[in-house]
Amino acid sequence: MGLRDDPFAAEEARLHSSDWTPMDDALADAVKCQAETQRLLSGFVFDGDEATDPPRYLVKGVVPAEGITMVGGQSGAGKTFIVVDLAVSAALGEPFFGHRMVESVGTLILAAEGAGTLSSRIEAARRSRAQGQSLPIAWLAAVPSLSDADEVKALQPKIQAVADRMLKVHGVRLGLIIIDTLAAAFAMKDENDAAEAQQALRHMRLIGDPIGAAVLPVHHYGKNDETGLRGSSAYRAGADAVISVLADRNQVTGEVANRSLALAKTRFGEEGPIAGFSLRFIQFGEDDDGDPVGACVIDPALDVLSPVLTKRPKKDPLPILALKEAFAEVIALGREVSVMGDGPLVRAVTVEQLRPEFRRRYVTGDVEPEKAAATTRQALKRALAACSQHGFRSGFWGGEEWLWVA
């Protein structure tokens, strides 16, 4: 039997060889230990390991260069006028509401709603701000259902073709994709469903990320400004920024006053009011009867804060937002009950009635269903504990926990 066949003999020979030292084993052990440590720490980042780069913006301090910026507001507040004004500012490289446009880029508008008015609005803005010159702005009226992953995949090469033409004709990249509106573009079964909302956000990133464009979905607010973006709280949670288009609107007469813009959410800087604005009519023709033909453009009032901005309430925590949305949904199923059995008569719902709706609206970062359910239960518990500070009252009687408006 030779050394190859006898491992003990081979080890003895190695120990007595002239070129081996005890340091060889120590070095090998150290290398193994270091490799194992690196494996365990893979993915972790320690303070000081990386340089802190400033956030990348398209509109300095307002619209990130990539990701999702929601544009929300009540009907009639001027949301589409705002995004058209933003598209013109982006094309010209001019400030948007006093905030620097970091780069001149082209805009694509997926006009799932109101496409028939878009041409005149862009024409008015072009005449008002660009002396009538052609701008790198394109739009699509026949928008497929963006809830369908296959439709989104089929749309990607078309968007790339638009980007290629803008670069060739105007010398700018396609950097902004506006979806007007989110509700019209995404065929959702229930926009209050957090899972559907998260899927919509993923599809929006599939639209913008391949070409490095910021995506701006236009969305309606709830029944009032205080509720924020209509539907699931996942929209706000998943967005990189939220721009609010605010106004005082008389729902009976349609009169609108005190229009204003605010940054309701940002991941990078300070949130708060931006400025007030008004709409100004631009005529660019006449119809067969000699009546003026045109559309409105935005006139920012950079030195004026609208009363709507100055009276805005503090933001509600996400559990309270989900509680308010869930309560508004189930109150129709509530009952007229006497508080504590013999108190004043109120319309109330049980927490058990509320719980499923709260679960649909409250979004968590947990992937595992059990952890997500536990997180949601704790969020509802916190919301109920704090509800008296947000216009609600709760109480136990008759074997049920009840919730009603104070």
pTM over 0.85: no
Kindly give the pairing relationship between strand 174-180 and strand 214-220. parallel
Can you tell me which residue has the tokens 């949904």? 329
Q: What is the mean pLDDT of the chain?
A: 87
Q: Could you report the per-residue pLDDT of 265-317, keeping only the tens digit for each?
A: 998 888 889 999 999 999 988 888 888 889 999 999 887 655 554 444 456 78
Q: Could you report the per-residue pLDDT of 204-249, keeping only the tens digit for each?
A: 999 999 999 999 999 998 765 666 888 888 899 899 999 999 988 7
Centroid of chain to Cα 54: 21
The secondary element (H helix, E strand) that includes residue 400 is strand 400-405
DSSP structure string for 348-384? EEEHHHHHHHHHHH---S--SHHHHHHHHHHHHHHHH
| Torsion from C-alpha of 137, 156, 70, 281, nearest 10 degrees | 20
Contact 368, 292 (CB under 8 A): no
CATH 1.10.10 region(s) of the chain?
318-405
| CATH match for 318-405 among 1.20.120, 2.60.40, 1.10.3470, 1.10.10 | 1.10.10
pLDDT at 366 over 80: no
Q: Give the pLDDT score at 305.
A: 58
Say which CATH topology domain 57-310 has.
Answer: Rossmann fold (3.40.50)
Q: Could you report the per-residue pLDDT of 303-346, keeping only the tens digit for each?
A: 765 555 444 445 678 889 889 989 998 998 888 888 776 778 88
Q: Could you report the per-residue pLDDT of 164-176, keeping only the tens digit for each?
A: 999 999 999 999 9
Can you tell me which residue has the tokens 């920012």? 300
Contact 38, 83 (CB under 8 A): no
**Higher-confidence residue: 87 or 1?**
87
pLDDT above 70 coverage of the chain, percent = 88
Contact 58, 90 (CB under 8 A): yes
**On the CB side of 48, how many CA atoms lie within 13 Å of its CA?**
0
Class of residue 97 by CB neighbours under 10 A (exposed 0-12, middle 13-18, buried 19+): buried
Q: Give the pLDDT score at 255.
A: 81
CATH 3.40.50.300 region(s) of the chain?
57-310
Q: Give the pLDDT score at 312.
A: 47
**Higher-confidence residue: 150 or 45?**
150
Q: Could you report the per-residue pLDDT of 88-139, keeping only the tens digit for each?
A: 999 999 999 999 999 999 999 999 998 899 999 999 999 999 887 899 999 9
pLDDT at 50 over 70: yes
CA distance 222 to 220: 7
Contact 175, 103 (CB under 8 A): yes
Q: Give the pLDDT score at 213.
A: 98
The secondary element (H helix, E strand) that includes residue 338 is strand 335-338
Contact 144, 187 (CB under 8 A): no
Task: Give the tokens for residue 271.
Answer: 């949130």
Task: Give the tokens for residue 234.
Answer: 């996942």
Q: Give the pLDDT score at 69.
A: 97
Strands, DSSP E only, in 163-234? 174-180, 214-220
